[in-house]
Structure 1
Amino acid sequence: MNDNNLYKVGIIGFGPKGFYGFERLLAYLNEADILNDIQIHIFNTTEFVASGDVYRTDQPEYLIMNYANRNINSWVLQEPFSIASATPDFITWLTAKGHTNAAPGKYAPRAVVGSYLVDCYRLLLEQLPKNIKVITHIGTVTNMIKKNHKYQVFYTEGKRGAQEAVVCNKVLFTTGHHSFKTQKNQSDILDSKINFIYPTNEKLKSVNAASLVAIKGFGLTAIDAILALTEGRGGNFKKNDTGDLKYISSGREPRKIYPFSRTGLPMVPRNGSPMSETELHFFTEEIIAELKQDRSISFNCSLLPLIKNEFYFAYYNVLFKNYGHQFYFDEDFTVIEKQVKYFHEDYPNAPVFNWETIVNPFKEKSALSTDEVQNYMQYLIDEVKNGEEESPLMSAVATWRKISPIFNELYSFGGLDAVSHREFDSHYFGLFNRLFYGPPVKNVQKMLALCKAGVLDFTYAKSATISIDDCDSNFSLYMENGQRTEINYFVNATISRAKEGGFKNELYQNLLKNGLIREFENKSKTSYKPGCIEINKAGNAIDVNGHVNHDISFYGTPTEGITFDNDTLSRTRNDFASVWAKYVCGAIKEKDERIENYKRQEHVF
């Protein structure tokens, strides 16, 4: 076949989101009964195709999901149906493979989830139509230019470093965090400073036993780093007589690990329970419709009061039940407050709802002690064990899971005013992540055991500063009160998100330079650039001149900032993949019809 007539589709970045786009494209092509030859070019930086680096299959088993088994499914039951004859969800797959931890509420190792994704990808390849060829390129895509209505995708292939190029008609970007710096600098090269911890076995191997390690952050990545330096070094966690975990040292772990972050707080853990049936009370259909009419929403004035009310009602709904009382909803919030007032008069020792105590119980403290953090972790563990049905705190926090998809609709494409958009990105995004998207309770129990064993030290947990001298690899953690500790290793366990002054990644810088994309700017009332690309509601790129380019689409992490919470494994949240696949299929069909018409006209003449 003439290469000009061969249709080529590129998918840049092939983790779960790339796989989802691929699966939908095959489904639409199959439904349309397209028989002409098509090439699908897959570009991925590593050989972990379909799993991506987050779920790479060579990870140690102690790195587990914070997403229960019941929530994982690589397939969607929607038309057009997948070309795969078998579409097992994760639990079905686990059971078939003989895994012992296949229960819905359990948390699987990330490597096992990666193996599931790879198997799902194989199911598609095994039933690939003969006219479709998949070509995989392992390397780093660095540039893309438009040429004659097509796109040259430039990538550096593997370890050889050879520059290659592939011409594509349509391209889907499902890359990771595009704000990561790809250029190496002095601090990246130093063995004593680790800027990115994955894969942990490789990136943290330089950390010596009995050393002092500072870890920036106390989220999921930081927990992975801490476990890699302890359990990953041969340490063990065993249950003691009270059922709590005790850490058994291997002698190969660091002497002290000092986590530090802005708040100094651990994430609220999860217990794997399904979402409760309780409905939201204040985010009513009428209020949501009214908010959608206002394309300049104030978070503090319009949304935060509703969120606080949902937390408040969920909290007291459980607290009242614990005391044998019924809590009644009323559209007039003062009526609800009166119920609470009378309740506390009858039960003065009952806990009182306080928004600030929930979101940051140590807000007024400039520093925290190890004992304070340790006691707070034990409190969270106890609350999580009680669950949403018995813990007012967990019931309140769980409301965000129901609010989140509604908030996504209101936030996306500049729905908030610019000031609110900036404030949410810089403060509330991290806050709600800490409250709801935390680790399994098992991992917090491990952190507590490490704390009691003296390995984990929270002396510098809040408001610490680290001094770095790249020339001689010296680090020290210090507080405003003058307290200081010399450090042997510094681990950055924070994940870079899109933010003002983004586009540090070479590929996205070049896309910007070539005019294929432009930076999104929220101009509502004032101005805010969240550091993300501008797309339309179908996920298509907006070019430098403000025109929609239907040939280029984005899905997943690259859309963060203009959309909200692109969960890596979700098939429904901000599903640009289905829109993209349907459009590409239509474009291929239209081109085939033009070619056939041209051939018929040639025959006539």
Structure 2
Amino acid sequence: MNDNNTFKIGIIGFGPKGFYGFERLVAYLNEAKISKTTEVHIFNNTAFLASGDVYRTDQPDYLIMNYANRNINSWVLKEPFSMASATPDFVTWLTAKGHTDAAQGEYAPRAVVGSYLADCYQLVLEQLPTNIKVITHIGKVTDMIKQNENYQVFYTDRKSGEQDVVACNNILFTTGHHSFKAQKPESVISNHKIDFIYPTDEKLSPVTPQSLVAIKGFGLTAIDAILALTEGRGAIFKKNDKGVLRYISSEKEPYKIYTFSRTGLPMVPRNGSPTSETTLQFFTKEVVQHLKANTPINFNSTLLPLIKKEFYYAFYSVLFNNNGHQFYYDDDFTVMQNQVQYFHEDYPESPVFNWETIVNPFKDEHILSSVVLQVYIGFLIDEAKLGEDKSPFMAAVATWRKISPIFNELYSFGGLDAESHKEFDTYYFGLFNRLSYGPPVKNMQKILALCKAGILDFSYAKSASITPNSENNNFTIQVEKGQATEINYLINATIARAKESGFGNELYQNLSKNGLIREFENTGYIPGCLEINDKGNPISKIGIVNNDITFYGTPTEGITCDNDTLSRTRNDFATNWAKSTTEAIKEKDGRTEDYDRTENVL
């Protein structure tokens, strides 16, 4: 039971987001000069605190970021300032540690980023006031129930396998992708079907050399899986005299790896250069403020035309500049189109902007071949090497990274109409991720080398189906009304997101059953996430806002958009949580008389 002299706080999930919440909490407690004994109970599935599973420090170095060094910073320079004795950004930390890949535009191994995050956590712990006690629980949280003024958190200890319970006054949930992943009993997962690839050394170990493997997905996780089965097994990539990568086998990799996905398309790679300084002209904050007054918004009729114009403007700004011309913005879009028409009359060989060619160049082709995709990947590599300042194509696809934070304001809390919300979740979210948040160029060069070596095969990239063979635990991959191949292993390399209706995770199912959360519904569309207010507090089954509980990061996906794992600013519910938790401690200690914690009913 919880005693009256100690305020107990729970942080469930302690990757980067959990650490960010902890750092803000300590800063606010210090500013408020809280002397009351405060316990912070940290619950995490593994011992990789602050780094979490994504940036765990024991993963191989060939698993690298898709986020350049310059963009990584665990700290926020705002009051109350952190108690840490130092607050180095990632590049400063790399330089101090003597890393050779400390350049701003380099892509570091994810394990190195994990070490940085772990060090940042230690910097906060070293300055912790004596009245703040941190207690770590390594294990899986399965349930939480309210008992009087406390919340009983049930977890299974990872080492002993025993269940224990901790009573907390206040809870922050930062459970990452586990929020949406149904945890199946190990006994029902076949060694021939791998549902989750991390940690790769462990999860992909059943795959035998010279076997046939199918990988569902062609995003960042799929690339990790492909590299783990090749480079991770002793093979090497070596540059020839022309700088082109050549794959040298270790004889321990699969005989063939088949990728398949809905579009069959790879992600657009990036070269690490900073985002261009071209400003948005159509999808501006002023336009958004006007649109917000007229929600819900239809994506296709209202927002997509603005996005297409931004892509168009970025494309031609670079193309004009490459030819010594200036592309002028005009409120009348036809004036800009006339500029383009005159330009193409003077430069008929120049590429022409085409939305469909950019977002889905093989839309009308039912089946893709390895040859076609090899050529396309080669094109993407060449464009990425040019960068946003020289490649009209790269300038266009990079535009979404600028639009995304503004779009989030319109998307969040049911800002889109139900039909648009569903279409964005199921189609456009993946499309824009593929265009704008792709891997480093060197990883796509490895993918091309594997294709040329015959290891990676795109024969089933698009329009493929998988059926299990009950006699031998194998599977058959087949193109609709076309060729088929029996494969030995099926690997799911897609990352779970909120899916329409229902929570897939045991903890969230129990939170719902206990009435602590309810599903968010947007006029008939249920994206599969919980309902929260604009501070991250959940709405209970009977419609009451619970100020004692806050959700932050991936668990809010579907009601917010694109919760960047490392961002300190995107959908920042941690700061408000830290502030309100501090106020709750002061209130319980009798130091505030006017603090209003009245619960709202929705």
Identify whether the pair has TM-score above 0.5, normalized to the shorter chain: yes
**Contact 1:555/1:575 (CA < 8 Å) preserved in 2?**
yes
Give the Å deviation of 1:127: 1.2
Partner of 1:141: 141
Partner of 1:183: 184
For residues 345-356 of structure 1, the aligned pairs below 5 Å read: 345-356=345-356
**d(CA) in 2 for partners of 1:108, 1:494:** 22
Partner of 1:461: 461
Give the Å deviation of 1:272: 0.7
Deviations 1:97-140, CA, capped at 9 Å, x for gaps: 11000000000000000001111111111111100100000000
Give the Å deviation of 1:3: 1.8
Partner of 2:23: 23
State yes or no: 1:591 paired with 2:583: no
**d(CA) in 2 for partners of 1:2, 1:240:** 66
State yes or no: 1:537 paired with 2:534: yes
Partner of 1:83: 83
Partner of 1:308: 308
State yes or no: 1:518 paired with 2:518: yes
AA aligned opposite 1:274: P
Distance 1:566 1:471, change over 3 A: farther
**Contact 2:257/2:457 (CA < 8 Å) preserved in 1?**
yes
**d(CA) in 2 for partners of 1:68, 1:484:** 40
AA aligned opposite 1:589: K
**Contact 1:179/1:502 (CA < 8 Å) preserved in 2?**
no
Deviations 1:472-491, CA, capped at 9 Å, x for gaps: 31201101133000101111
Distance 1:471 1:556, change over 3 A: farther
State yes or no: 1:222 paired with 2:219: no
Distance 1:156 1:285, change over 3 A: closer
Distance 1:596 1:426, change over 3 A: closer
AA aligned opposite 1:184: P
**d(CA) in 2 for partners of 1:269, 1:481:** 32
Q: 1:578 is matched with which residue: 575, 578, 581?
A: 575
For residues 429-578 of structure 1, the aligned pairs below 5 Å read: 429-469=429-469, 472-523=472-523, 527-578=524-575
SS in 2 for 1:151: strand
| Count of equivalent residues | 593
Give the Å deviation of 1:184: 2.1
Give the Å deviation of 1:71: 0.5
SS in 2 for 1:291: helix
**d(CA) in 2 for partners of 1:592, 1:433:** 47
For residues 185-334 of structure 1, the aligned pairs below 5 Å read: 188=189, 190-334=190-334
Greater mean deviation of Cα atoms: 575-584 or 312-321: 312-321
**d(CA) in 2 for partners of 1:285, 1:25:** 31
Q: RMSD of the alignment, in Å?
A: 1.4
Partner of 2:417: 417
Partner of 1:602: none
Greater mean deviation of Cα atoms: 139-148 or 475-484: 475-484
Give the Å deviation of 1:2: 8.4
Distance 1:180 1:345, change over 3 A: same
Over the matched positions of the two proteins, sequence identity in percent amounts to: 72
**d(CA) in 2 for partners of 1:171, 1:286:** 36
**d(CA) in 1 for partners of 2:470, 2:426:** 28
**d(CA) in 2 for partners of 1:593, 1:94:** 45
Partner of 2:598: none
SS in 2 for 1:55: coil
**d(CA) in 1 for partners of 2:593, 2:389:** 63
Q: Return 5+ residue gaps in structure 2 as ranges.
A: 595-602
Give the Å deviation of 1:187: 5.0
**Contact 2:469/2:476 (CA < 8 Å) preserved in 1?**
no
**Contact 2:38/2:133 (CA < 8 Å) preserved in 1?**
yes
**d(CA) in 2 for partners of 1:186, 1:28:** 46
State yes or no: 1:170 paired with 2:209: no
Give the Å deviation of 1:255: 0.6
SS in 1 for 2:385: helix
Give the Å deviation of 1:347: 2.0
AA aligned opposite 2:420: S
For residues 330-345 of structure 1, the aligned pairs below 5 Å read: 330-345=330-345
SS in 2 for 1:548: coil
SS in 2 for 1:340: helix
Give the Å deviation of 1:471: 6.1
**d(CA) in 2 for partners of 1:278, 1:346:** 24
**Contact 1:256/1:454 (CA < 8 Å) preserved in 2?**
yes
**d(CA) in 1 for partners of 2:472, 2:582:** 57
Give the Å deviation of 1:43: 0.1
Give the Å deviation of 1:470: 5.3
AA aligned opposite 1:535: I
Give the Å deviation of 1:562: 0.2
**d(CA) in 2 for partners of 1:300, 1:495:** 26
Partner of 2:379: 379
**Contact 1:516/1:544 (CA < 8 Å) preserved in 2?**
yes
For residues 16-55 of structure 1, the aligned pairs below 5 Å read: 16-55=16-55
SS in 2 for 1:20: helix
**d(CA) in 2 for partners of 1:155, 1:273:** 44
SS in 1 for 2:237: strand
Greater mean deviation of Cα atoms: 496-505 or 221-230: 496-505
**Contact 2:44/2:137 (CA < 8 Å) preserved in 1?**
yes
SS in 2 for 1:9: strand
**d(CA) in 2 for partners of 1:347, 1:39:** 68
Deviations 1:342-399, CA, capped at 9 Å, x for gaps: 1122222211100000000000000000010010000000001111111000011111
**Contact 1:187/1:470 (CA < 8 Å) preserved in 2?**
no
AA aligned opposite 1:304: L
AA aligned opposite 1:362: F
SS in 1 for 2:569: coil
Distance 1:407 1:498, change over 3 A: same
**d(CA) in 2 for partners of 1:470, 1:109:** 40
